[in-house]
Structure 1
Amino acid sequence: MASMTMLAVTVTCVFSCVIGGIESTRKVNQEFNVTAGNTTTDVIDEERSIAHGNAGRCDILYGGKCFTLIISRASMSLGEAEVVCKGAKGKLANIYGEEHFNMLRALIRARTDIGKGGNSAWFGMTIDESTRRVKLSNGEWATYTRWEKNRPLTPPRPYIGFFVHSDNLNQDYQGYRDRWASETQHGVVCESKVPWEQ
């Protein structure tokens, strides 16, 4: 009986959070045009609505910041991910160290649907092409990096995605992936101030 009550509460929260997240993203999308190739993309179409209803909620508190994973029903480009984070009053997240990396990896794995091989998410970090080092969105060098095997490519693609296997057995093929902005990921991790300090 307790599990049925919990399920009902979860469904209610997901529905209300999804509607709130879509409405706030609609407002942002009116201010920022997201382009993919030569066409403007509406990230609020039915397939790209927020699937797990977690916009506006902290999944992880780390270093005085709130980190929220938002998974889309359809994969999203980097530009679409930026709009989703702005709609959630945040920005694309950075990874601030090994402990933080492991926390985010566990979060992404926990949100992987049963039967799915893994999940991927956009982050706000970039790669310096000449040094192949990772930069945080504020321009500082990342203190920790964990690349998926055979990454970064040569030459490296400029943006960072993060792939996680659902079973955690194949450690070589988990971690940072260098990506083009037009490539897609399953979701995005957004970083923001903690809600009670805004």
Structure 2
Amino acid sequence: MDFVKIILFISLIYGLYAKQKLPAGACVSKIVNGKLVQVGDCEKNDGSDIVRLIKKSRDEKIKAENKCDVTYKKKCYRAVAYDVTNVNFNDAKAICKSMNGKPANIYDLKHYQLMLPYLRSLIPGGWGLIDIWTGMEYKNNQLLLSNGRPITIATEVWYPKSPGSEASWTNVGVYVDKDPENAYQGMINKYPSSSFHGVICEI
């Protein structure tokens, strides 16, 4: 029994001593201006610290990039809009791909209404409206999701006198006006080579 008490006493003393020494001898590693900076007792030099810090930095960057601006039915949406109309549909696909996504679908009236205030907030200064690509298509008088599946959507979602009947107007975008009451906004079908302000992506 005395032997156990002695061992516990020695362990306690050793623990207190180690605890007191730790702050002075601890190794703190961080990345400053792209370089590994270590402060304290940093004897281990096998590269594991830098690997851990790089992984942590990468994970934080991915997390920030994957942030959803709008969420609907567990799907994540982010839009990109420029202050010039220079984004054709191929550009829109490339923009979304760079964010690990694709040009988005708009699934129903509720989804459309949820997106409008967000898209309105992206209207650049000096502009009264923006036009934004979606991933949807309009072919043979039928609205299609990006996977080619037909969908029916409320007529009030469409821009006045849209969709157009021109066969080459295959891609669908959204016109969004600063004024929520303006009747001249909504989904519209256009040539894929048309220049829009940006794209809404489904991540």
Q: Would you say the 8 A contact 1:135–1:142 is kept in 2?
A: yes
Root-mean-square deviation (Å): 2.1
Shift in Å at residue 55 of structure 1? 5.5
State the aligned residue count: 138
Partners of 2:65 and 2:118 in 1: how far apart? 15
Shift in Å at residue 177 of structure 1? 1.1
> Among residues 82, 86, 94, which one is paired with 2:93 in the alignment?
82
TM-aligned CA distance change 1:72 to 1:57, over 3 Å: farther
Q: Would you say the 8 A contact 1:125–1:135 is kept in 2?
A: yes
Shift in Å at residue 139 of structure 1? 2.0
Runs of 4+ in 1 over 6 A off after TM superposition: none
Shift in Å at residue 133 of structure 1? 2.0
What's 1:144 paired with? 153
TM-aligned CA distance change 1:55 to 1:166, over 3 Å: farther
**Where does structure 1 lack aligned partners over 5 or more consecutive residues?**
1-19, 25-53, 193-198
Question: Is structure 2 residue 67 aligned with structure 1 residue 57?
Answer: yes
Shift in Å at residue 81 of structure 1? 0.6
Q: Would you say the 8 A contact 1:55–1:70 is kept in 2?
A: no
What secondary structure is seen at the aligned counterpart in 1 of 2:76?
strand
What's 1:105 paired with? 116
What secondary structure is seen at the aligned counterpart in 1 of 2:124?
coil
Partners of 1:91 and 1:160 in 2: how far apart? 14
Superposed counterparts of 1:1-198, under 5 Å = 56-74=66-84, 75-129=86-140, 132-145=141-154, 146-156=157-167, 157-171=169-183, 173-192=184-203
Shift in Å at residue 162 of structure 1? 0.4
Q: Would you say the 8 A contact 2:82–2:124 is kept in 1?
A: no
Shift in Å at residue 60 of structure 1? 0.6
Aligned residues with identical type, % of pairs: 30
What's 2:43 paired with? none
Shift in Å at residue 123 of structure 1? 0.4
Shift in Å at residue 143 of structure 1? 3.5
Partners of 2:158 and 2:105 in 1: how far apart? 15
Q: Would you say the 8 A contact 1:108–1:120 is kept in 2?
A: no
Q: Would you say the 8 A contact 2:83–2:124 is kept in 1?
A: no
What secondary structure is seen at the aligned counterpart in 1 of 2:93?
helix
Shift in Å at residue 114 of structure 1? 4.2
**Where does structure 2 lack aligned partners over 5 or more consecutive residues?**
1-57
Shift in Å at residue 137 of structure 1? 0.9
What secondary structure is seen at the aligned counterpart in 2 of 1:76?
coil
TM-score scaled by length of structure 2: 0.63
